[in-house]
Amino acid sequence: MREIVSQKLALAMADDCIAFRVRALNRVITNLYDTVLQPFGITVNQATMLIMLSLVGEATSARIGQVLIMEKSTISRNLDRMKKQGWIESSSRDRGREQFVRVTPAGRELLAAFHPNWETAQLQASELLGDNGVSAVHTLHAAVRKKHPV
Q: What is the pLDDT of residue 51?
A: 97
The partner residues of 100 in beta bridges, in order of sequence, read 60, 91
Does this model's pTM top 0.85? My answer is yes
**Residue 76 vs residue 13, higher pLDDT:** 76
CATH number for 88: 1.10.10.10
DSSP 34-46: HHHHGGGT--HHH
Give 80-94 pLDDT, tens digit per residue.
Answer: 999 999 999 999 876
State the pLDDT confidence band at 95, using cuts at 50, 70 and 90.
low
Taking residues 36-53, report their average pLDDT.
97
Task: Supply the range of the domain harboring residue 66.
Answer: 2-147
- Cβ 128 vs Cβ 28: under 8 Å: yes
Total of domains in the chain: 1
Q: What is the pLDDT of residue 108?
A: 98
Helices (H), 57-104: 61-68, 72-85
